[in-house]
Structure 1
Amino acid sequence: MNIEALAIPEVLLITPRVFGDARGFFLESWNRRSFAAAGLDLDFVQDNHSRSQRGVLRGLHYQIRQPQGKLVRVVAGEVFDVAVDLRRSSPHFGRWVGARLSADNAQMLWVPPGFAHGFLVLSEQADFLYKTTDYYLPEAERCLRWDDPSVGVQWPLAPGSQPTLAAKDAAGSLLAQLECFP
């Protein structure tokens, strides 16, 4: 596998080796030994799967207690995936990185604890899978507003269009109002 640090070096774009032939393909999406050898000694406790339609934006979510690291990937369709650094002690606090993840490119993103995470569906539909390093804790969940101008995520939306949001995402808070990490 190939691991590339993005502009925020703790967020990693992971490209697995894909073995394909006329029958289809095979790839290892998770191998504890291989990831540990690459410096990612992770203990996942939960797997999640969401399906969303074109234009759906999920996020930007995080848990202030029991923060979750997430290994995310797309198995059908394409999304624009975003991580925002919410660690006040980080030189990258309030900055974001993004990557297009798709079934075709088979890439994954490692989003460490201390980051808000979200994605916008670019294809007609997308199936999004992710592993987490801690359990979901609803009372600790927080949401950074998807269009916070101080963060300035450049979502690939058609001019004049708005994403489809869940009520909790539409009610997200601005970075200046958020409870963040030390």
Structure 2
Amino acid sequence: MEVKKTRLDGVLLIKPPTIFEDFRGTYVETYNEKLYAAAGITVRFVQDDISVSKKNVLRGIHGDAATWKLVSCLYGEFFLVVVNWDESSPQYRQWESFTLSDRNRLQVLVPPKFGNGHLVRSELAIFHYKQSTYYDRAGQFTIMWNDPALNIP
């Protein structure tokens, strides 16, 4: 398992602990609480969600003040953007992008007060995320993907 810091404080890029390939296909251990804790990731996840989208679908940037998310791509490929939306942070409104796919198997840990959104680049993509809180529509914030102040390509 590899864990790397990113330009954004608290956002981590993770290579899952176990990826095994042979003539039968691929086996990926996407989460193991003991291994993640040993790597310093002690977030308790309570809900898993999946979205399935076709090519060029843009799932807008959203988040809330309480939820940690562990984002991964189970199938296909998407361009993920994570934005710091914490007004008290010196990195407020800064963002970073990642390409997640079923080939690279990368994961991104997204802290509370950060938004995330993605654009599907493959014909179909399956987006998976673990959440540390139960979904609460009322607590969500949204960020325009084309906000000129962010200048996201």
Normalised-by-shorter TM-score class: over 0.9
TM-score, normalising length: structure 1: 0.80
1:45 pairs with 2:46: yes
State the aligned residue count: 152
**How much has 1:115 moved relative to structure 2?**
0.1
The 2-side partners of 1:63 and 1:91 are apart by 18
Structure showing the higher strand proportion among its residues: 2
Distance 2:107 2:98 in 1: 9
Q: Deviations over 1:6-52 (max 9, x none)?
A: 11131111112412111212221111111111111011111001000
Matched, 1:10 2:13: no
Q: Take 1:101 and 1:24, find their aligned partners in 2: how far apart are those partners?
A: 19
Paired AA for residue 11 in structure 2: V
The aligned counterpart of 1:107 is 106
Give unmatched runs, 5+ long, in structure 2.
Answer: none
Q: Considering only aligned residues, what root-mean-square deviation do their CA atoms show, in Å? A: 1.1
What is the 5 A alignment of 1:10-159?
10-16=10-16, 17-64=18-65, 67-154=66-153
Normalised by the length of structure 2, the TM-score is 0.95
Structure 2 CA distance for aligned equivalents of residues 74 and 88 of structure 1: 29
Aligned to 1:162: none
Give the match's secondary structure for 1:71.
Answer: strand
Cα distance between partner residues in 1 of 2:117 and 2:132: 17
Matched residue SS, 2:35: helix
SS in structure 2 opposite 1:59?
strand
